[in-house]
Amino acid sequence: MTEMATALSRLSELAIEVPSWAYGNSGTRFKVFGTPGTPRTVREKLQDAAKVHELTGLAPTVALHIPWDKVEDYAALREYAAGLGVGLGTINSNTFQDEIYKFGSLTHSDDAVRQKAIDHHLECIDIMDAAGSRDLKIWLADGTNYPGQDDIRRRQDRLADSLRQIYDRLGEDQRLVLEYKFFEPAFYHTDVPDWGTSYAQTLALGDKAMVCLDTGHHAPGTNIEFIVAQLLRLGKLGSFDFNSRFYADDDLIVGAADPYQLFRILYEVIRGGGFGKDSGVALMLDQCHNLEEKIPGQIRSVLNVQEMTARALLVDTEALAEAQRAGDVLAANGIFSDAFYTDVRPALADWRESRGLPADPMAAYKASGYQKQINEERVGGAQAGWGA
C-alpha cells in the first residue's frame, strides 16, 4: 500500500463537530449583517448542518449553545436531528450575556450570582442527559479590567468550588471541558487565561474534566502545537475549537490565515494519539461567517481540516525519527515539509467519490439549489444570531 493509500485509509476516522451558531447571523461589535436564508430556529440550524454532513461526510454532530438553542423537548430535538442524519454534540454554556454577570459568573464574589451561574450549568447537564451529549463545554468571560478591582486569588478559589459542584453532577460517561482565553472581554486579568490554569483546575476535579483548546485564543507567536503535544502527553486534551486568526480571536475559517500551523497541530494530534473515534479528543469548529455564506463557509472549513489531516498522515514518521536521532536538522525539516507541500486534493476527490460523496462538495452545494430554497422558504420571523 502506498503512503497516500495508507493515509487515506485512516480518513474515515475523521469527525468534525460543527457549531449551531455558525449558521446564524454574527458580526463585529459595530454591525451584524443579516443574510437571506438564515435559520430562525434551532431545527433550521440542524437542517443546514445536516447539509454540510451530507456533502462532506465529515460533520456527524452539531454543538448547541444554551440558551441560544433552548427548546422545550431535547429528546424530540435529538430525534429530529437523527432524522436529518446528524447527532447532537457538545452543550456549550453561556454566562457572559446576562446583566447579572457583569463582574463575573462562576468566580463572582456574590454567592447568589455564583449560584445562578452554577445552576445554569446544572441545567445544561440536564439537557445533555436528554440530548445524549457527552461534553459540557465551559468558556468564561470572567476577569477584571483594573488592578485591585477584585481579589484574583480568591476568584480562583471560587472558580474551583463552582466547577466542583458542576463536576459532581456529571453522569458516568459525561465530561466537563474547560476552555481558556488569554484576554477579552477582561483586559487586566482573565480567570482562565491559559492552558496551565485550565489544566490545574481540571486536574483537581478528576478524570472527567479536560481542557478545551481554541486555536484563536492565544497571544501572537504562541506555539500552539507544543500546547497540544503537552496536553496529550498529560492526558488532558479533551477538545478543540478550530478557527483561524490574524490578530486576536478572529473566528475565521480554519486554515485561512496559516494552513501550515493547522498542519503542525494536526500532526501533533495524530502523533500523540488524539486522532480517531476512540481517542477521546473532540474536533470542533468555532467560527463566525460574517461576510461569506454560512453553509459553504462550514463546508470549506471541514474540508480544510480534512486536507491538513491527510497531509499530516503522510509524514514519514520512521524516516523523521531516524533523522532526529542522527541530529540531521535539514533532513528532518525536509521530511516534515514534504508532507505539508504534497497536493492531496486529487486523491481526496477520488476518496470522496469512492464513498458516494461529491468529489467537490463546494461545487455540489452551489449546484444543489439548497441556498435558493432556504432563501425563499425562510421569510418572516426573527433570524437566529449571536445572542439569539
pLDDT tens column, 119-149: 999 999 999 999 999 999 999 999 999 999 9
Distance separating alpha carbons of residues 48 and 294, to the nearest angstrom: 9
Report pLDDT for 1: 64
With beta carbons less than 8 A apart as the criterion, state whether 155 and 104 touch.
yes
Number of other residues whose CB lies within 10 A of the CB of residue 50: 19
Which residue(s) pair with 143 in the sheet? 190
What is the torsional sign of CA 304, 306, 307, 313?
positive
Residue type, 152: I
Residue type, 199: Y
Number of other residues whose CB lies within 10 A of the CB of residue 153: 8
**Residue ranges in the chain whose pLDDT is less than 50:** none
Q: Which of 336, 305, 300 has its CA nearest to residue 321?
A: 336
In order of start, what are the domains of the chain with their CATH numbers?
A: 11-312 (3.20.20.150)
Quick one: residue 356, left, alpha or beta (phi over 0 = left, psi -120 to 50 = alpha)? Answer: left
Report pLDDT for 388: 63
Backbone angles phi, psi at 173, to 5 degrees: -105, 15
Distance separating alpha carbons of residues 111 and 132, to the nearest angstrom: 31
Distance separating alpha carbons of residues 247 and 219, to the nearest angstrom: 9
The pTM (predicted TM-score) of the whole model is: 0.97
Backbone angles phi, psi at 127, to 5 degrees: -65, -40
Report pLDDT for 138: 98
pLDDT, one tens digit per residue, over 21-57 is 999 998 776 888 889 999 999 999 999 999 999 999 9
Residue with cell 475559517: 253
Report pLDDT for 82: 98
Distance separating alpha carbons of residues 356 and 56, to the nearest angstrom: 10
